[in-house]
Each structure stands twice: as C-alpha cells, then as structure tokens.
C-alpha cells in the first residue's frame, strides 16, 4: 500500500456543459495528477436536476468512480429502481429518509487502501422535510465503517456556518469534509487542526456566464418580479470547472495537502 493517496473531487456537475467539461478536462487532470480516485457531485447532472442512466454512464466513462448527490438527486429517476438495475457507486444523502440502503455510503478498495464516501444534506435554509440531523446521522454511521479507511464527506448544504461547524465536528475523525450545493467556490481550502481537509464549497462545473448554472436573464427576472420561473441552462459558451485536489496520508488518514482547482474553458 502506498504511503499517500490522491483524490480529485469535482464540484456539482451542471447539465450538458458540465458533462462536456468533465469529459474534456478530467483525462488531462488524471494524466497530470494521477489521482487514485475521482468523486463528483452529480445532483444537477441531467439538465440541471437529477440524474439519468445515460448521464451517469457518461461520467463513469470520463473517469468518475464515485458519485455524490444532494436535494435534487431524486428529480428524474427512481433511485430504488436505479439501485436494483445498475451498479453505479452513488452516495445519496445518508440523512434523507428516501435514500435506498445501497446508496447510504460507498466503500471501495484501491491499491489496498480502503475508501469510504458519505453524502449528507444540511437543514438550514434547505426547506426539506425528508432530512434528519446530519450531525447525529454521521455519529451513527462512523462506527459502522471499516477501520483504516480514508473517509470523504460531501456536505450538501446552504449555510456556510453549518458546513464550517461540521468540519470542526468531524476534525480528526474523517479525512475530508467538502461542501457542495451553492455552486460558488470558496477561498478557504485548509487542513483543520486535527488533520481533516476542509473546503466550505467546491463550486460547480457548468456555464461560466450564468447565475449558479441558470441563464442570467431568467434569474434577474425572478428577482425583479418575485415570480416563480422555469430554470433554463445555457447550452453554449464558456464553462467553469471547480474541483479540489487532496493528498491523504494512508497511515493517519489525515489530509496532507488540499488545493482548489479552477479553470475556465471555451
């Protein structure tokens, strides 16, 4: 078993432009950084909400090994059906009452090193009646996980305070706590005092000239009129790519290095 492992975690992949960017850039990053595992948040994968078998297969073909989801993961496909018919390694929010048992978390072994990936969903400002307390839920999950594993947490949450609190709550207990959902990359990639890698939000992979992946004029109109609008995604133009690269010590299972990676491509 190597002394260290590398991981690339891709922020929320949004629609066709997001998928296009992953297919173009991830092979380059794999060649350059040689990650042991690639994880991606895919709750916005299929035209901005949810997943389909085709879009998941696109991402697996591009090199993504494990998928995480959030509050929109249920939008297009019955997850129980997906669990019974396919072998995609998906982590739905473990504290969501709708999550199938198969998707509570994912465990894999790469180069004799065990990896565990867990997705949680926040409750502050999320307006979701299906979720339980993520802090109490992870307390129940951690004792069930295999020992000597690198543990990655995707906290899909709106409030920066909730993500920050979770980072310190799990500091030293997991390898990394990485925030998703708000689609804006934050400038606080760091290693917490007890060795857990932390980032409040990885950001998204999707249309650069947009509001969180949605056409700008639609969101501006929403704020001007206070009306309900239909989300439409740009299908052409520049694409922003946000991800995080981590190096993890396979003995301590703590993060040695963490770096936000951001590119804009045509």
* CA gap 147, 166 in Å, rounded: 21
The answer to the question of whether 247 is labelled as a binding residue is: no
Distances (CA, A) of 180 to 106, 148, 156: 18, 26, 5
The answer to the question of whether 156 is labelled as a binding residue is: yes
The answer to the question of whether 77 is labelled as a binding residue is: no
Average pLDDT, stretch 247-251? 98
Domain 4-265 has CATH 3.60.21.10: yes
DSSP annotation of 48 reads T
pLDDT at 261: 97
Q: How confident is the model at residue 129 (pLDDT cuts 50, 70, 90)?
A: confident
In the predicted structure, residue 1 carries a pLDDT above the cut 80: no
Of the listed 47, 72, 253, 254, which one is catalytic?
72
The answer to the question of whether 130 is labelled as a binding residue is: no
The answer to the question of whether 242 is labelled as a binding residue is: no
Residue-wise pLDDT for 210-247, tens only, equals 999 999 999 999 999 988 878 899 999 999 999 999 99
Distances (CA, A) of 187 to 142, 175, 205: 28, 19, 16
* CA gap 115, 31 in Å, rounded: 21
Residue 254 designated active-site: no
Closest by CA position to 13, among listed 61, 51, 57: 51
pTM for this model (two decimals): 0.96
For the four alpha carbons of 60, 120, 94 and 138, in that order, the dihedral sign comes to positive
Each domain of the chain, given as residue ranges in start order, spans 4-265
């Amino acid at each position: 078993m190597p002394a260290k492992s590398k991981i690339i975690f891709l922020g929320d992949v949004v629609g066709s432009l997001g998928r296009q960017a992953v297919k173009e850039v991830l092979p380059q990053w794999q060649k350059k950084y040689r990650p042991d595992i690639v994880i991606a948040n895919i709750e916005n994968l299929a035209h901005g909400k949810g997943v389909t078998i085709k879009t998941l297969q696109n991402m697996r073909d591009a090199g993504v090994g494990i998928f995480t989801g959030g509050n929109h993961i249920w939008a297009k496909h019955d997850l129980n059906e997906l669990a019974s018919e396919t072998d995609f390694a998906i982590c739905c929010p473990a504290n969501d009452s709708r999550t199938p048992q198969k998707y509570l978390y994912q465990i894999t072994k790469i180069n004799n090193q065990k990896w565990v990936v867990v997705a949680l969903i926040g409750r502050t400002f999320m307006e979701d009646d299906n979720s339980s307390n993520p802090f109490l839920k992870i307390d129940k999950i951690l004792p069930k996980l295999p020992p000597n594993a690198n543990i990655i947490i995707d906290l899909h949450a709106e409030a920066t305070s909730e993500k920050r609190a979770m980072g310190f709550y799990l500091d030293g207990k997991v390898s990394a706590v990485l925030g998703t959902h708000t689609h804006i990359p934050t400038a606080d990639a760091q290693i917490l005092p007890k060795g857990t890698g932390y980032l409040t939000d990885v950001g998204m992979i999707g249309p650069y000239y947009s509001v969180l992946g949605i056409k700008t004029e639609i969101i501006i109109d929403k704020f001007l009129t206070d009306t309900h609008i239909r989300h439409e995604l740009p299908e052409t133009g520049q694409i922003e790519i946000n991800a995080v690269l981590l190096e993890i010590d396979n003995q301590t299972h703590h993060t040695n290095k963490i770096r936000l990676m951001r590119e804009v491509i045509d």
